[in-house]
Amino acid sequence: MTQVIETSALSKHYKAVKAVNDLTVSFDENRIHGLLGRNGAGKTTLMQLLTGQLFATSGDIRVFGESPLENTTVMQRTCFIQEGQTYPDGFEPRHVISIAAGMHEKWDQQRADELVEMFELPMKRKIKKLSRGQLSAIGIIVGIASRADLTFFDEPYLGLDAVARKNFYDALLADYAAHPRTILISSHHIDEVAPLLETVTVIDNGELLMQHDVDELADAAFAFAGTRAAVDQFTGSVQVLERTDIGGLSTVVVRGPITQDAARLASDLRLDKSRASLQDLFVAVTESARKARQKA
């Protein structure tokens, strides 16, 4: 498989803050990748590095096999929908859309028009008068209609209500199915975006915690729930990622696969077993990394 993005020992440090730290990661062509991480994990910084908007402190970046820094060939194939994008005073959505149309050679105006209608975006209202959700809609329309070979969506749905977010996911999936390309989407609404994603990359503290195809994640983690005493007995035999105790009941998220012996023990202890959701897995993986860091 062709790697559209490859980083090697990539770091971006702001004095003591290691926003991205020794990160070696790659993303395949023509897939939708989820970039997940808690607040301050380094998602935006990584996207800014990959789009040549920031200089790395050290390490190497290849996008379409080249450095993205001041590289018009790479820039022309890339669309970056930034969280909190600002626009010049006096701009209206129609100005942004028409500039974007001129910048992206695969731009699909019909799709843009459909999306404007779907989000009921007022095209002739000053941008500074738009609601947060309407501002997000501009980015989403540009990101989808650009049809860029590589599109970054950094938390693209801020302020969008649940219906509008669902419309975004459906529109993105439909357009991607018709025109496959590489999409990197950072998100906090993990279970909501999960159905879109083909791979999941989790970063924390600027470092890579996990990268998997979504198919592989089906057996990556399981949740077991039961009485506290039963869960205590069970946890000796498995790798616990996260535990929650409420009253006399406990739930543990454990790393899969589950051995036959562990499955038998869980059944003997009358524990309820379920597949951990991507959100559960994310919380478990980031929390256990955080605890390990605090101990170190």
Ligand X SMILES: Nc1ncnc2c1ncn2[C@@H]1O[C@H](COP(=O)(O)OP(=O)(O)OP(=O)(O)O)[C@@H](O)[C@H]1O
- Per CB under 6 A, residues contacting ligand X are 14, 17, 19, 37, 39-45
Q: Cβ(212)–Cβ(45) under 8 Å?
A: no
Nearest residue (CB) to ligand X, 42 versus 93: 42
| Rounded least distance, CB 27 to ligand X, Å | 17
Q: Minimum distance from CB of 235 to ligand X (Å)?
A: 31
Residue whose CB is less far from ligand X, 50 or 262: 50
- Closer by beta carbon to ligand X, 86 or else 274: 86
DSSP letters of 114-151? HHHHHTT--TTS-GGGS-HHHHHHHHHHHHHHT--SEE
- Answer whether 258's CB lies under 8 Å from 240's CB: no
Q: Are 8 and 24 in contact (CB under 8 A)?
A: yes
Beta carbon nearer to ligand X, 24 or 73: 24
Cβ proximity to ligand X: between 15 and 270 the closer is 15
Q: How far is the CB of 125 from ligand X (least distance, A)?
A: 27
Quick one: CA dihedral 185, 186, 188, 191, positive or negative?
positive
- Looking at the Cβ atoms of 39 and 72, the one nearer to ligand X is 39
- For 92, residues 6+ apart whose C-beta sits below 8 A from its C-beta are 123, 124, 125, 126, 127
Supply the minimum distance, in Å, between the C-beta of residue 44 and ligand X: 3
Widest Cα–Cα separation across the chain? 68
CB of 202 to ligand X, least distance (A): 11
Nearer of residues 175 and 204 to ligand X, judged by Cβ: 204
Q: Is 279 exposed, middle or buried (0-12, 13-18, 19+ CB in 10 A)?
A: middle
Least CB distance to ligand X at residue 80 (A): 13
